[in-house]
Chains A and B, each alone.
Chain A
Amino acid sequence: MTDTAVETTRPIGVYTRPKGGGGWRDWVTTVDHKKIGILYGATALVFFVVGGCEALLIRLQLATPNGTILGADTYNQVFTMHGVTMIFLAAMPLAAAFGNYLIPLQIGARDVAFPRLNALSFWVFLAGAIFLNLSWVLGGAPDGGWFGYAPNSGIIYSPSVGMDFYAIGLQITGIASLVSAINLTVTILNMRAPGMTLFKMPVFTWMMLVVQLLLVFAMPVIAVALFLLIFSRQFGANFFNTEMGADPLLWQHLFWIFGHPEVYILILPSFGIISEVIPTFSRKPIFGYEFMVFSGIAIGFMGWGVWAHHMFASGIGPLSVAAFSLSTMFIAVPTGVKILNWLATMWGGKIKFTAAMLFAVGVISMFTIGGLSGVTHAMSPADTQQTDTYYVVAHFHYVIFGGIIFGLFSGFYFWWPKVFGHMLSEKLGKINFWVMLVGFNMTFGPMHTLGLQGMSRRIDTYSPGFGFELWNMVASIGSFIIATSVLIFVINVIVSAVKAKGQPHCGPDPWDARSLEWMTPNPTPEHNFDEVPVVESLDEFWHRKYGTDEEGRIVRVATAEEVCQDGSATGVHLPSPSYWPLVFSAGLPLVGLGLIFSLWLTIPGGIMMVGSLFAWVFEPVDDPDGPHGHHDDSEETATEEAPVV
C-alpha cells in the first residue's frame, strides 16, 4: 500500500521527523499519549500549587479584620487568578492528564486518533497558561473575577492590561481544549478494541466521552464571549457599552451558557475516576452500570438548560427565574442517581480502605454536601439572599474541591503504579487524606455561616464587629492545613520514588483491578498492548481473572501475571515524534502579546504558526530512518504513506 504519489523518498531539511535522542528531546517532540498525559499532569500540578499559593494569600489577608497583607487592587488580581488558575490551568488539565493517559489504555488502543494534535493540545495549553501568568510582570494580572462580568471587565473599570491577558489567554487554552476534545471523541468512537461496544467501556471512559462532547459544544460559546471582550477592549467595539444601548447581560449569558456545562466538564472526570476506584476496592462490579452511564449523559444534556441560575439576581424576569429554578432542581436527580449507585456498589462489598478508596468516599460525602447547598440555590428567593456571599464560595468549593480535587487525588493514588511502576506510600496517603479532609472542612465549612451572616465575596477586607472574625480565622487556619496535606502528597511522591529506585517494578495488578489498562505491565510500555485484546465483557480484565464454579461461586481462574501481557513485543509501529506542535504553540502567545503591546510582535508569531502548519502538513508520516519508521513488523501492513495537503 505504499505505492503512493508521495513516495517514501527522503524528505529534505526540516521536513524530516525528529528522532528523539533521549532526555528532554523525547519530551518536547513526543506524540505518545502517555508522555503527553504525564506532561499535562505535571504542569497542572505546578499550577495547582500556584493557585493554592494565591488562595493562601487570600486567606492570610482575610484572617483578621482590616488585613493589610494585600492592597485592594492586588487582592482583586489574586482572587481572579486563583479562580482562573484552579479551573483552567489545574482542574481541566488534570482531567486531561487522566483522559490522555487512560482512555487509549481503557479502550485497548495504541494511541489517540491524532497523536500530533494531541501534542499540540498540550503545548497550546502550556502556552496559554504561561501567557496568563506573564500578566503578573507585564502590567498587572486580570482583576475582573474569573467570570469577568461586563462592564466591569471593560477598559473603563479595568484599565490595566490584566483583562486583555485574561481574554486572550483563555482563548488560547480554549483552543487546546477544543482540539483535545475532538481528538478524544474520535479516539473513543473509532479506536476501541475488537468486541468493546460502547456499553462495555469503563465508566471513566464514558464520562470522559460526555466531557469531550460538552467541550466540543461549549468551547465555541466562551470563544465568542472572549472575542466580544477582546474586540471591545482592543478595538472599541460596543458589545457592552450601555451608553449606546448595549446590554452587559450579554456577557453573563454567553459566559454561563459555557460556564454551566463547564461545571460538568470539571466534575464528570472525577465521577469517572471514583467509578473505577469504588468497584475495585469494594470487590464488586459497579452497581447499575447503565444507570451510571445514562445519568452521566443526562447530566451532560441538562447542563445546557440551567445556566441562568447563576444570574437570578441580575433582573432576568420572573418567568426566566422560575423556569431556570425548575430545571436546576431537576438536574440534581441524575447526580443523586450516581451517588446512590456508588453507595450501592459499596453496600455488601468487601471494602478495602486504601488511600484511593478514602479519597473516593471523600468525594461522595463532600460532594453531597456541596450538591445539597447547590439545591438551596435553585430556590431563587434563597439564592437572591445568598448571591455574591461567602455561602456561594462555600458551595462551589465543596463541589470543586470536595468533588473534583478529592476525585483527582483518588486517581493519583489508584493509577500511580500504572504510570510510574511503583506504588505511592499508602500510609502517607491515608495521612494525606485525613489532613486534607480536616483542612478542607475547616476552610470551607465556616464559609456557609459567614455567607449567611452577610459577608460578601470578593471584598478585600472587613471591619471588626460584624461577627466575621472567628470563622475567618478558622477558615484561614484550615487553608494552611490543606496546604500541609498537599505538601504531604509531594513528600509522598518524592519518598516513594526514592524508595522505588533500584527496586523491581510493582506487579501488573497491584489492586486486583477490573479494566483493560491493567492488562499491560506497569509502567505501561511505549506501545501499550503487545497484542490488542479482544473484549467480551465489561470489566474484561476481571473476567479473565475470575470465573464461577459449579455452585455459582466466584473463583479465581487465572493469576494476574497469566492474564497480563508482558510488554515484550517489538517492532510495533508507532507514530513518529514531531517538532511542529511545539513551534506552532510558541507562536500563539507572541500573537497574543502583539495584540496587547505592539502589533509587530504578531508577525514572528504568525510566521511561526503558519510555517509550522505547513511543515506539519508536509512532514512525512514517518521518518524513513526514524526509530519507529520501517514497517518491519509482520502485523503492520496497511500503512499508507499519507498524501499531502
Chain B
Amino acid sequence: MNTSETAVTTEAAHDDHDHPSDAKYIQIALLLGIITAAEVATYFVDIGVALIPVLMIMMVVKFFYVASWFMHLRFDSPLFTKFFVAGLILATTVYLVFLTVFEFWSKG
C-alpha cells in the first residue's frame, strides 16, 4: 500500500483547502452520537407510523455527515463524489427494483 508518487503533486493542490479543525470533527461526532441515541430511543418509545420515515431520515443524515466530512467529500475532487454517488444510486435503484419484483413491500 504505497502512496503513489503522484501524491506529491496532488497534495499541494489539495492542501490549499482548509481541512476542518479537530474541534469541528468532534462536534460532528457529537452530533452523530446524539442522532444515534435518538435512533435507539425509538426502540423504547412508540412513535407510531412516523417510525420508519424518522429512522430513514436519521440514517441518511448520519450517512451524509460521515461521507461528506469524515470522508472529505465536501472538500475533495467532485470525481470521488461522482463515483460514490454512482455506486449508491445504482445500488439503491437496482435493489429497490429487485425487492419490488419479489413483492417485498406488500409482504412487509
- A residues whose Cβ falls under 8 Å from a Cβ of B: 1, 189-190, 217, 247, 249, 253, 257, 304-305, 308, 316-317, 320, 617, 621, 638-640, 642-645
| Residue contacts A-B, CB under 8 angstroms, 20 given | A190-B6, A217-B86, A217-B87, A247-B102, A253-B98, A257-B94, A304-B94, A305-B97, A308-B101, A316-B101, A320-B100, A638-B5, A638-B8, A638-B9, A639-B5, A640-B5, A642-B2, A642-B5, A644-B2, A645-B1
Contact B9 A320 (CB under 8 A): no
Closest CB pairs A-B (n = 4): A642-B2, A320-B101, A640-B5, A645-B1
Contact B101 A257 (CB under 8 A): no
Contact A640 B8 (CB under 8 A): yes
Contact B79 A642 (CB under 8 A): no
Contact A317 B94 (CB under 8 A): no
Residue B103, interface by CB 8 Å = yes
Chain A, Cβ-Cβ closest to B8: A640
Residue B3, interface by CB 8 Å = yes
Residues on the B chain within 8 Å of A640, using CB: 5, 8
The minimal Cβ–Cβ distance linking A317 to chain B, given in whole angstroms, is: 7
**If the complex has contacts A638-B5, A638-B9, A639-B5, are A249 and B90 also in contact, measured as CB distance less than 8 A?**
no
11 extra interchain contacts, Cβ-Cβ under 8 A, other than A249-B102, A253-B98, A317-B101? A217-B90, A257-B98, A304-B90, A304-B93, A304-B94, A305-B97, A317-B103, A320-B100, A639-B5, A640-B8, A643-B2
Q: Mark B30-50, 1 if CB is under 8 A from A, else 0.
A: 000000000000000000000
Residue B4, interface by CB 8 Å = yes
Chain A, Cβ-Cβ closest to B87: A217
Q: Mark B65-89, 1 if CB is under 8 A from A, else 0.
A: 0000000000000010000001100
Chain A, Cβ-Cβ closest to B100: A320
Residues on the B chain within 8 Å of A317, using CB: 101, 103
Residues on the A chain within 8 Å of B9, using CB: 638
**If the complex has contacts A189-B79, A249-B102, A320-B101, are A642 and B4 also in contact, measured as CB distance less than 8 A?**
yes
The minimal Cβ–Cβ distance linking B98 to chain A, given in whole angstroms, is: 6
Residues on the B chain within 8 Å of A249, using CB: 102
| Contacts across chains A and B counted by CB atoms under 8 Å | 41
Q: How many residues of B contact A (CB 8 A)?
A: 20
Q: How far is the CA of A317 from the CA of B9 in the complex (A)?
A: 55
Q: How far is the CA of A189 from the CA of B97 in the complex (A)?
A: 31
Q: How far is the CA of A187 from the CA of B87 in the complex (A)?
A: 19
Residues on the A chain within 8 Å of B1, using CB: 617, 645
Q: How far is the CA of A642 from the CA of B3 in the complex (A)?
A: 6
Q: How far is the CA of A412 from the CA of B40 in the complex (A)?
A: 62
Residues on the B chain within 8 Å of A621, using CB: 2
Q: How far is the CA of A257 from the CA of B5 in the complex (A)?
A: 38
The minimal Cβ–Cβ distance linking B12 to chain A, given in whole angstroms, is: 12
Residues on the B chain within 8 Å of A316, using CB: 101
The minimal Cβ–Cβ distance linking B103 to chain A, given in whole angstroms, is: 7
The minimal Cβ–Cβ distance linking B89 to chain A, given in whole angstroms, is: 11
The minimal Cβ–Cβ distance linking B1 to chain A, given in whole angstroms, is: 5
Q: How far is the CA of A644 from the CA of B1 in the complex (A)?
A: 7
Contact A643 B3 (CB under 8 A): yes
Residues on the B chain within 8 Å of A638, using CB: 5, 8-9
The minimal Cβ–Cβ distance linking B42 to chain A, given in whole angstroms, is: 29
Chain B, Cβ-Cβ closest to A619: B2
Residues on the B chain within 8 Å of A320, using CB: 100-101
Residues on the B chain within 8 Å of A247, using CB: 102
The minimal Cβ–Cβ distance linking B6 to chain A, given in whole angstroms, is: 8
Q: How far is the CA of A316 from the CA of B103 in the complex (A)?
A: 9
The minimal Cβ–Cβ distance linking B86 to chain A, given in whole angstroms, is: 8
Residues on the B chain within 8 Å of A189, using CB: 79
Residues on the A chain within 8 Å of B101, using CB: 253, 308, 316-317, 320
Q: How far is the CA of A617 from the CA of B90 in the complex (A)?
A: 33
The minimal Cβ–Cβ distance linking A536 to chain B, given in whole angstroms, is: 24
Q: How far is the CA of A190 from the CA of B9 in the complex (A)?
A: 13
Residues on the A chain within 8 Å of B87, using CB: 217
Q: How far is the CA of A275 from the CA of B1 in the complex (A)?
A: 38
Q: How far is the CA of A36 from the CA of B9 in the complex (A)?
A: 29
Residues on the A chain within 8 Å of B97, using CB: 305
Residues on the B chain within 8 Å of A190, using CB: 6
Residues on the B chain within 8 Å of A308, using CB: 101
Which of B2, B86, B87, B90 counts the most A-chain CB atoms under 10 A from its CB? Answer: B2
Residue of A1, A217, A305 near B8 (CB, 8 A) is A1
Residues on the A chain within 8 Å of B8, using CB: 1, 638, 640
Q: How far is the CA of A257 from the CA of B87 in the complex (A)?
A: 14
Contact B2 A645 (CB under 8 A): yes
Q: How far is the CA of A257 from the CA of B86 in the complex (A)?
A: 16
Q: How far is the CA of A621 from the CA of B1 in the complex (A)?
A: 11
Q: How far is the CA of A145 from the CA of B77 in the complex (A)?
A: 44
Q: How far is the CA of A644 from the CA of B94 in the complex (A)?
A: 39
Chain B, Cβ-Cβ closest to A257: B94
Q: How far is the CA of A642 from the CA of B6 in the complex (A)?
A: 10
The minimal Cβ–Cβ distance linking A288 to chain B, given in whole angstroms, is: 26
The minimal Cβ–Cβ distance linking B53 to chain A, given in whole angstroms, is: 25
The minimal Cβ–Cβ distance linking B10 to chain A, given in whole angstroms, is: 10
